[in-house]
Chains A and B, each alone.
Chain A
Amino acid sequence: DTGVSQDPRHKITKRGQNVTFRCDPISEHNRLYWYRQTLGQGPEFLTYFQNEAQLEKSRLLSDRFSAERPKGSFSTLEIQRTEQGDSAMYLCASSLLNLRSEAFFGQGTRLTVV
């Protein structure tokens, strides 16, 4: 399968714990995005990488959130001291460098904070 893959698919954690998600983009894609989707809403942009550089971050990305893309390949999104409001679907997407290139999404990681 050469699509965007995310791991894990589901994560249940207790409030206050740290969680880390992984995204493997399509191999030739330079750009990688993280979005968050809550029930009944469309995906909301969190952050964006071009190769290994994190070029844009949303105001939604609080200090408890950090994302990395070492070596410009896979990416991780870490949430520290999780809160119940962090419960959502976290979507990763990747695209080519061309600004007109559509983003391809992974299946997402569903986080539930109890």
Chain B
Amino acid sequence: DQQVKQNSPSLSVQEGRISILNCDYTNSMFDYFLWYKKYPAEGPTFLISISSIKDKNEDGRFTVFLNKSAKHLSLHIVPSQPGDSAVYFCAAKVNAGNMLTFGGGTRLMVKP
């Protein structure tokens, strides 16, 4: 049973436009959420996180939104740049736990 799902395996966006990556979760115990970016042949790199007590967290071009009632979070990248092309993973954890539960990833392609 996949507790964290990223239903779009790929997304293509024009440079300068907004990229919106979505993530749904089923475990109501999750209370901390993270986004990681992964380039080929490299490990995942931390991007941004959000606690369940917030509904928005912003860091430069990256904003994560959390809708707890819908068990949904999204990552917005504005403006998108070709260097943002990578696979993006959504991950979640329970406060008292240590393991991250990852979604299957969304491949973002930003076209110049």
Contacts and interface: CB of A to CB of B under 8 A. Distances in A.
B100 A103 contact: yes
A106 B43 contact: yes
Interface residues of B, number: 27
Contacts of B102: 42-44
B100 A4 contact: no
A47 to B, nearest CB: 9
A103 B96 CA distance: 15
B99 interface: yes
Interface string B20-60: 00000000000010101000011111100101000000000
B34 A108 contact: no
Contact of B98 (A40, A41, A48): A48
Contact of B99 (A4, A45, A105, A106): A45
A51 interface: no
Interface of A: 4, 31, 33, 35, 40-45, 48, 50, 55-56, 58, 91, 93, 99-100, 102-108
8 contacts: A41-B104, A42-B103, A42-B104, A48-B99, A58-B99, A100-B32, A102-B34, A107-B41
